[in-house]
Amino acid sequence: MELININRKDYEFVHGYGKSNELRKSLNDLTQKIFGFNFEQWYQDGYWKNQYIPYSLRDSDKIVSNVSVNIMDFKIFGEEKRYIQLGTVMTHPDYRKQGLSRVLTNKAIADYRDKCDLIYLFANSSVLNFYPKFGFEELKQYQCVKMADSIYPDGSVKKLNMSDENNRSFVIAKVMHAVPVSKLSMCTNAELVMFYCTLFMKDNVYYLEGYDAVVIADFVEDMLEVIDIFCSESIPLNRVLNAMTNKSVKRIALSYTPLDTSSFETILLEGEETLFAMGKDLQLLNSKQFMFPKLSHT
């Protein structure tokens, strides 16, 4: 047992405890309270493995603060990289403003700073002054958008039922054997993709039979948002977009940076989250116009 004293109070530090029913339940309780979801179904489906590592402080039998380490292997502009993303940053309301998140963040940075090419996170507007204190710098992101110009209704587009185990296994296989479609391509992290596909995006998973491709996409008013594409052979992006487009779609936005951006307008991404990063690849990313794939967010 490792005890950490913060403001004259001892907390138990626990980490990497996904297989502990007691600790996992406490983490789920806090996550549900703060964010409105939990990780239990993801765990029970077998997707919580070794890439998601919670760093937590426990008071008595209750986890009261957490910062999770996510091990992310990417292909970044053609080079294989290991990045660390910090996520699920939260503290129980009764324990806030006591420095608990600061201690956990420092501990995670110390453990991984020399083991990766970048440490990064996405912060909401309420904590923009918090992360620079650790040495994080803000990075701009850019999104590729275009007007829809061709419509080829494709009867082979099928929505997949992600409650079906066979469909889930099919999607995992596609993810694991997919060729890169993005300048920043997440590698070997089907577990995180399935977190989205079985929770927040369970109604957004499609199969294009003619191209043998799984497409994660959302239709919002007159916009088609293509979140990611998983296929074992390279397919011209415009063919996928044309197949997914219907008469109501006027605009198309990609939630990743495609290998070829020439047919897109690249615009500054503005929203509720700000990207912060530190590490060896900071200068490289500062010199590029890019977007971390939406499915890589934790």
**Helix 190-197 and helix 165-176, axial crossing angle in degrees, nearest 10:** 140
CATH number of 144-268: 3.40.630.30
Full 3-state SS string of 154-186: CCCEEECCCCCHHHHHHHHHHHHCCCCCECEEE
What are residue 69's DSSP bridge partners? 53, 86
Question: pLDDT for 182-229, tens place per residue?
Answer: 999 998 788 999 999 999 999 999 999 989 999 999 999 999 999 999
Residue 38's closest CA among 248, 281, 264, 200?
200
**What pLDDT is attached to residue 120?**
97
DSSP helix/strand/coil, 79: strand
The predicted structure's pLDDT at residue 128? 85
Please report, for residues 130, 176, 199, 206, 218, the alpha-carbon distance to residue 161 in angstroms, rounded to integers and kept in the order given: 41, 19, 12, 9, 15
pLDDT of residue 50: 87
- Taking a C-beta distance cutoff of 8 angstroms, is the pair 165, 172 a contact? no
pLDDT of residue 34 exceeding 80, the answer is yes
Tokens coding 113? 């700073």
Q: What is the mean pLDDT of residues 258-265?
A: 95
Q: Is the pLDDT of residue 42 over 90?
A: yes
Confidence band, pLDDT 50/70/90 cuts, at residue 141: very high
Summarize pLDDT for 89-112 with one digit per residue, the tens: 999 999 999 999 999 999 999 999
Q: How confident is the model at residue 151 (pLDDT cuts 50, 70, 90)?
A: low
* Residue among 291, 284, 280 nearest 253 (CA): 291
The pLDDT of residue 266 is 96
Q: Provide the CATH topology of domain 2-140+269-296.
A: Aminopeptidase (3.40.630)
Band of residue 270 on the pLDDT scale cut at 50, 70, 90? confident
Does 153 have pLDDT greater than 70? no
Average confidence (pLDDT) over 9-36: 97
Distance, CA of 225 to CA of 235 (rounded, Å): 18
Rounded alpha-carbon distances, angstroms, from residue 240 to 24, 28, 154, 158, 230: 40, 37, 10, 13, 11
- H helix and E strand count, the chain: 7, 16
Residue with tokens 């806030």: 96
In the prediction, which pLDDT does 298 show? Answer: 87
Whether the per-residue pLDDT at 279 is higher than 80: the answer is: yes
Residue 1, pLDDT score = 73
What band does 152 get if pLDDT is binned at 50, 70 and 90?
low
Confidence of residue 155 (pLDDT cuts 50, 70, 90): low
CB hemisphere CA count around 29 (13 angstroms):
13
Q: What is the arithmetic mean of pLDDT over 233-243?
A: 90
- Sketch the domain layout of the chain as residue ranges: 2-140+269-296, 144-268
* Residue 145 pLDDT grade (very low, low, confident, very high; cuts 50, 70, 90): very high
Is 144-268 the same fold as 2-140+269-296? yes
| Three-state DSSP state, 34 | helix
Q: What is residue 156's predicted lDDT score, i.e. its pLDDT?
A: 83
Kindly state the percentage of the chain with pLDDT values over 90.
86
**57 within 8 A of 26, measured Cβ to Cβ:** no
Taking a C-beta distance cutoff of 8 angstroms, is the pair 99, 6 a contact? yes
pLDDT reported for residue 154? 61
